[in-house]
Copies of this chain bind each other. A is one copy, B any other.
Amino acid sequence: MDYQGLIEEIREEVRAVLPEGRVSASIPALASVSRDRFGMAVQTLDGGSFHTGDARENFSIQSISKIYTLTLALTFIGESLWQRVGREPSGTAFNSLVQLEHEQGIPRNPFINAGAMVVADIVCSNAADARHALLAFVRERASNPGIGFDVEVANSEALTGYRNRALANFIKSFGNLDNSVDEVLDFYFHQCAIGMNCVDLARSALFLAGRGTCPWSGGQILTPSLAKRVNATMLTCGTYDAAGDFAYRVGLPGKSGIGGGIVALIPDRLALAVWSPGLNDRGNSLAGTLALELFTTKTGISIF
């Protein structure tokens, strides 16, 4: 298949919607990015690599990092992770806190902020140096030793993240954080502040399309069974309260971040990454979601 031609065609088609997106104003470092940016990359299991637009431009991966920390935590403690975090969609954001209370401090899934904090806590408990372990993991997956934290972004989140601080203290009150709130949040704010580009992202996620095995290193990161399960969790929970709509329109497991990035997978074939900072009203990249929908529609490939 001519993936290069395809993604260039898609890039043309999404151009018209770029002005409709709304860039996240949650922190200054995100708010300053232009919504005209768009990049897309495809990495196939058989070694093909394709990209277009701003696919080499670094951006803040934000919640996409939750894939990496979930994988790391599963390599550390395996399926016992599910005793501390669920794997069900969370329904409306509106109910997130009440659900946490109703379910006694067990977050609904590892991709809502509360769940990602519990996962971060597990990484903090099991890695000698959590930040270092995460960067090493991501650099190796992406074959890019230059990947790092955007310290300005991390500090900015630490200064203004009252709601995340509320959440972490709330989980701690139920006894579902082993480390201190400050330690968990420091790691959490750093994981969200990793800077990567679309090419990095598509490469780094390829092991999830490849039944858990990283194609260039040949290393088995997760068992095929666990890789399949991470993908299932991404599909049902990866795009917040738009998971149903994303499955409906795109039909692939994916994970989005408010920096405007989205990673998606076609099992046994390829990994995709898109970036466009303008968000839709569900908090996912507007042009990015459309680009993925066009990709599955034009290729006829979907998991359904």
Contact = CB atoms under 8 A, between A and B. Distances in A.
B87 A267 contact: no
A101 B91 contact: no
A121 interface: no
A178 to B, nearest CB: 13
Nearest to A162: B173
A22 interface: no
B97 A102 contact: no
Q: How many copies, total?
A: 4
Given A162-B173, A233-B248, A97 B89 contact: no
B236 A89 contact: yes
A165 B171 CA distance: 11
Contacts of A242: 88
A108 B88 contact: no
B88 A241 contact: yes
Nearest to A224: B300
Given A90-B91, A232-B304, A236-B248, 5 more contacts: A88-B241, A92-B103, A98-B98, A163-B173, A267-B303
A92 B89 CA distance: 9
Contacts of A101: 94, 97
A205 to B, nearest CB: 13
Interface in A80-112: 86-92, 94-95, 97-99, 101-103, 108-109
Given A236-B236, A244-B236, A248-B229, A92 B99 contact: yes
Contact of A91 (B99, B167, B228, B303): B99
5 contacts: A88-B242, A89-B89, A163-B169, A166-B172, A232-B247
Interface in A225-260: 225, 228-229, 231-233, 235-237, 241-245, 247-249, 251, 253
Contacts of A14: none
A181 B248 CA distance: 30
A170 interface: yes
A302 interface: yes
A235 B166 contact: no
A10 to B, nearest CB: 17
A260 to B, nearest CB: 22
A159 to B, nearest CB: 11
Contacts of A95: 91, 95, 98-99
